[in-house]
Amino acid sequence: MIKVLINAQPMTVVGTGIGRYLRGLSAACEARCRDTVRLSYFTGGGVVDDAPSVRGAGWRERLGQLLWRMPHPVAYGARLLRHGLTERNFGTACRGFDVYHEAGYFPLKSRVPVRTVMTVHDLSLLRFPHWHPAERVRYFRRYFMDRLPRVDGFCAVSEFTRREMIELLPVDPEMITVTPLGYDPQLFNVADDPEAQAMLGEAGVPREFVLFVGSGDPRKNLDALRAALKAAAVETPLVTVGWSGWHQTEKGDAINLGYVSDRLLAQLYRTAQLFVMPSVYEGFGLPVLEAMACGCPVVASRAGALPEVGGDSIVTVPDVADARAFGGVIHGVLGSSGERDRLRRDGLKRAASFSWSRTVGETLSRWGSEG
């Protein structure tokens, strides 16, 4: 029995992709490897045996919102104070564990020997620091490179991210295993949810719409989508979903739902005429996978790992900054029911090749277990 301690702090936070990854990974591991792997979870204050659940916006999210509004030096000082308290609590938390798994900025410092595995989602803080709050960038730069030697093995969520790591980081490529993400088929599927649909109707969602899913992170590139719809005179309404994050963008005439539950998100995917992801950088692009699993046609940029995830089952746009060309692609797909049907069929087949069980299988080799 291999004992694994997961830094589970992101699992308690609404709207974080890292938390989504950890919830999917841990649930699949508990189901698949209960006789060979025992998971425990570090919550910031201590270690628990059961995966923590999301209970709405908590103090970590409120702190994050506060940090983004503070002057940079004050926000950075608050970040370091929080880090010091967390690392103090973590110091001996790894005692008795075979593996410590980290999926955040960098590994926490343990005062006891433990094999350390780190999942890297992307390297945007290195590539594009101007997209992030200044205090976050400074915090990352203070610790990230110095902590890399503590890592015994890396998981990269895509081949794209693996290549980024080889190019930018002083790590041996043999230490990196590609562990693609998965999705929950109990949530993301083609089974219509009338109750969820009624809730969307009450929220003002029309019968036909184009869907955008993403936070206020500038790389999600909502402005490019709005410009494309305007350039092509697309009359289908735009519905946007996602927490505001640290960057406020003009929503224009879009119907902005803000953060929604996974149940409502899945129903939005099922009923949208088209899901569009115009990001300029993605380490994986989980919304593309979840949209395909719900039978939603997808148009996306060619940024980062998006072509890797969608393959030929999505329509990719060479340059989403070209509003006229981008809008023309969207207009063409919306105007062709045959093309949308093809994308639905191909997307469902493509999505079936991804699963959290597969993610666990690839991760086990880094944990030192065959599961």
Per-residue pLDDT tens digits for 76-121: 888 899 899 999 999 999 999 999 999 999 999 999 999 999 999 9
The DSSP symbol for 2 reads E
Measured in degrees and rounded to the nearest 5, phi and psi for residue 317 equal -110, 125
Look up the pTM and report it.
Answer: 0.92
Q: Tell me: the pLDDT tens digits for 244-283?
A: 654 455 556 789 998 899 999 999 999 999 999 999 999 9
- Cβ contact 181:289 at 8 Å: yes
Q: How confident is the model at residue 188 (pLDDT cuts 50, 70, 90)?
A: very high
Residue 201: its pLDDT value, please?
96
User: Top-level CATH class of 2-182+355-367?
Assistant: alpha beta
Residue 248: its pLDDT value, please?
52
Decide if 2-182+355-367 and 194-351 have a common fold: yes
Question: What's the mean pLDDT in 311-330?
Answer: 97
Question: What's the mean pLDDT in 298-317?
Answer: 98
Specify the CATH number for 194-351; select among 3.20.20.150, 3.40.50.10190, 3.40.50.2000, 3.10.105.10: 3.40.50.2000
| Distance (Å, whole) CA 238 – CA 216 | 16
- Per cent of the chain over pLDDT 70 is 91
Q: Tell me: the pLDDT tens digits for 146-165?
A: 999 999 999 999 999 999 99
Query: Where do the domains of the chain lie?
Result: 2-182+355-367, 194-351
Written as six digits, the tokens of 328 are: 């023309």
pLDDT at position 58 over 50: no
pLDDT at position 62 over 80: no
| Distance (Å, whole) CA 324 – CA 301 | 14
